[in-house]
Every structure is written in structure tokens, then in C-alpha cells.
């Protein structure tokens, strides 16, 4: 009886691991230092291993690294959320544009979150900000 129970648990674990084999992976690169008053384009790639077409979302949040509060509006992050449709084994590429506010002195944290069905991936990027002297 005990062997049958353990075999049943093993089969369940193997089945659920294969059923949840779909993965997302976000990659993005940010300059090492951001300069106040300058505009940037954050290029983002979402990779996956889906074999069928799926629709998902990608969110970009700009946060003050000390207070962890949103600076999206201050940084003119106009399109912080984008829908996308995945194509079989083809990465989705997009961009998020923002401008560092002239008076901003803190570091910037960028959080990117991609979601397709119940599968989710997120990355956190950090960059200090330099104030440009007039």
C-alpha cells in the first residue's frame, strides 16, 4: 500500500512539473549611471518556450530606490504597461521610454514584470542618478 502511494505521488509530481514547463525570462540593460534631464530608452526582451500563441502583459515600474515609491509620472513613463502576443518560440521585444527629472537626486529602481497565463517573471534593475551642473 505504501509503495503504491509513493508511486502515485511521484507520478503526480512528474506530471505537474511537465505541465508547468512553460517559462518566461526577461532581459534588459540599463546604463550604469543615469543623468538628470536626459531621456532613455529601456530595451526589453521577453523570451519563452511556448509552442502555441499566448497573450500576456509586461509592466515597467520606476521607483525611488530609497523610498520605494513610484516616480513614473515624474519621469514621464507614459506607457508603463504593454500587452503582447507570443509567437511560438519567438522572443517579444519592446521599449520603455522615460526622462529623468532635472531635480531628481536619488537612485532609480526599475521593476519589470511579465505575465502569461499563470507564469510570471520579474527583474529589478538599479542605477544611480547624477545631477548635471549648469
pLDDT, tens digit only, all 134 positions of the chain = 455 444 444 444 444 434 445 688 999 988 888 998 899 999 999 988 888 888 999 999 999 999 999 988 888 777 789 998 878 778 889 999 999 988 888 899 999 999 998 899 999 999 888 866 65
Spatial separation of the C-alpha atoms in residues 65 and 122, rounded to whole Å? 17
- pLDDT at position 54, please? 86
User: Where are the domains positioned within the chain?
Assistant: 23-130
Q: Model-level pTM?
A: 0.77
The pLDDT score that the predictor gives to residue 15 is 43
pLDDT at 85: 86
Question: What DSSP letter does each residue of 57-123 carry, written as one string?
Answer: EEEEEEEETTT--B-TTTTT----EEEEEEBTTB-EEEEEEEE--TT--S-EEEEEEEEETTEEEEE
7, exposed or middle or buried, with CB in 10 Å at 0-12, 13-18, 19+?
exposed
For domain 23-130, the CATH architecture is: Sandwich (2.60)
Amino acid at each position: 500500500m505504501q509503495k503504491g502511494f509513493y508511486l502515485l505521488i511521484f507520478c503526480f509530481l512528474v506530471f505537474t512539473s511537465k505541465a508547468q514547463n512553460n517559462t518566461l525570462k526577461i532581459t534588459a540593460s540599463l546604463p550604469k549611471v543615469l543623468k538628470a534631464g536626459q531621456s532613455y530608452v529601456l530595451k526589453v526582451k521577453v523570451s519563452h518556450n511556448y509552442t502555441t500563441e499566448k497573450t500576456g502583459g509586461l509592466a515597467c515600474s520606476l521607483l525611488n530606490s530609497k523610498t520605494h515609491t513610484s516616480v513614473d509620472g515624474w519621469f514621464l513613463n507614459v506607457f508603463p504597461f504593454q500587452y503582447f502576443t507570443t509567437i511560438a518560440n519567438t522572443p517579444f521585444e519592446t521599449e520603455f521610454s522615460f526622462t529623468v527629472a532635472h531635480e531628481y537626486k536619488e537612485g532609480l529602481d526599475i521593476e519589470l514584470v511579465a505575465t502569461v497565463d499563470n507564469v510570471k517573471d520579474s527583474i529589478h534593475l538599479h542605477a544611480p542618478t547624477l545631477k548635471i551642473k549648469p
